[in-house]
Structure 1
């Protein structure tokens, strides 16, 4: 008598899927982590969001920490691709940086970074934290390369490109501040202020 083969617990049937299950899980996890933060999202929450069993999620990602790591890395890859596309446009660097800044502010206007990352340092392994850090570094290398090229073309003054990149990133992180009335400036106004301040340090010396 032939023994009927059974699939491992939690493993989804290939015929039941139109989208790879691993991608479906990552998409759902991304939405939940961004909205509620790492500490407030469970694997069970992700499973329910995907209409999957918790065992299926664990089949693809063996822990919540691993799922978060993959979520972060894939999100940074997508952001890097978007930044690279915007930097390839045939317009002045100042305008390209303004467009990137505006897109960043629009995407993060209601984003609580502190809440999003709360509890992560103690939950992830050193290897997982390093994986996220490496993805973040790669994400911003395209900006550094754009600064290097702009220096070669004498579009901006010669300055340490790594320092220039970190200075720009610091301004981006400060972009969602609120004024004395606890109201943020408009996204256009904030983006203009960030680029104006940055450009004071980047513009060629003869233009200062």
Structure 2
């Protein structure tokens, strides 16, 4: 859990007025590093040095590396949830929204969640792992709800909305492949291609007269 203190504890870093911003900076830095390099390759010392604080300053705000990892990853996932929700709500139609979501994901590639969690799982307790899973599931649930609405309107054929959500998310991992990105003029162009394949498949049966 994130530590909260009303009084200065012995050994506490002298940043009383800046504590909230220091905590946010630690989370932001840790999120970036964990999502890019995974769990084991990132040390608290690296995070402290990048934040220009001492290692004890991190322990003042977070009880352990696993706890910081949990907070960092759930923070990213919750931000992704809010971002996707806003995009899909503002889009004129589902395909436009999915293309914008895909473009954002392809523009900002990061480590695959399953790979990260497999690496970090031995160090996480059950509660920490569950919180990350819940944040991840909320993104799938959000996408599934929009797919269900599209199915109700007969925009999409009836299918398992959660499976569609997980499949769409898996396709976004193309952003981690530089060789794929280089084949397209822009991330937007690749996003349109990916969403087109996701929505209509690769068969040309529908084009036959």
Which bin holds the TM-score, normalised by the shorter protein?
A: 0.7 to 0.9
**RMSD value over aligned CA atoms?**
2.9
Matched residue, 2:9:
7
* Cα contact 1:29–1:71 (8 A) shared by 2: yes
TM-score for both structures, normalised by structure 1? 0.80
Matched residue, 1:50:
51
> Aligned equivalents of 1:85 and 1:7: distance in 2?
41
What does 1:176-195 align with in structure 2 at a 5 Å threshold? 176-177=176-177, 184-186=182-184, 187-195=187-195
* Cα contact 1:80–1:140 (8 A) shared by 2: no
* Cα contact 1:72–1:132 (8 A) shared by 2: yes
What does 1:1-208 align with in structure 2 at a 5 Å threshold? 7-15=9-17, 17=18, 19-108=20-109, 111-113=110-112, 117=116, 119-177=119-177, 184-186=182-184, 187-200=187-200
After superposition, the Cα gap between the structure-2 partners of 1:51 and 1:177, relative to the gap in structure 1 and judged at 3 Å, is closer
> Aligned equivalents of 1:112 and 1:53: distance in 2?
27
State the 1:43 CA deviation.
1.3
> Aligned equivalents of 1:6 and 1:192: distance in 2?
53
Query: Structure 2 unaligned runs (5+)?
Result: 1-6
Q: Which moved more, 1:151-160 or 1:97-106?
A: 151-160
How far does the alpha carbon of each residue in 1:166-187 deviate from its partner, in whole angstroms, 9 at most, with x for none? 22122222454465xx874222
* Cα contact 2:62–2:68 (8 A) shared by 1: yes
> Aligned equivalents of 2:111 and 2:47: distance in 1?
20
> Aligned equivalents of 1:87 and 1:103: distance in 2?
13
After superposition, the Cα gap between the structure-2 partners of 1:76 and 1:112, relative to the gap in structure 1 and judged at 3 Å, is closer
Query: Structure 1 unaligned runs (5+)?
Result: none
* Cα contact 2:73–2:132 (8 A) shared by 1: yes
* Cα contact 1:26–1:70 (8 A) shared by 2: yes
State the 1:135 CA deviation.
0.7
After superposition, the Cα gap between the structure-2 partners of 1:6 and 1:28, relative to the gap in structure 1 and judged at 3 Å, is closer
Matched residue, 2:3:
none
- What secondary structure is seen at the aligned counterpart in 2 of 1:8? coil
> Aligned equivalents of 1:61 and 1:18: distance in 2?
12
TM-score for both structures, normalised by structure 2? 0.80
State the 1:137 CA deviation.
0.4
Aligned residues: 195
State the 1:156 CA deviation.
1.9
- Decide which structure has greater helix share: 2
> Aligned equivalents of 2:207 and 2:159: distance in 1?
15
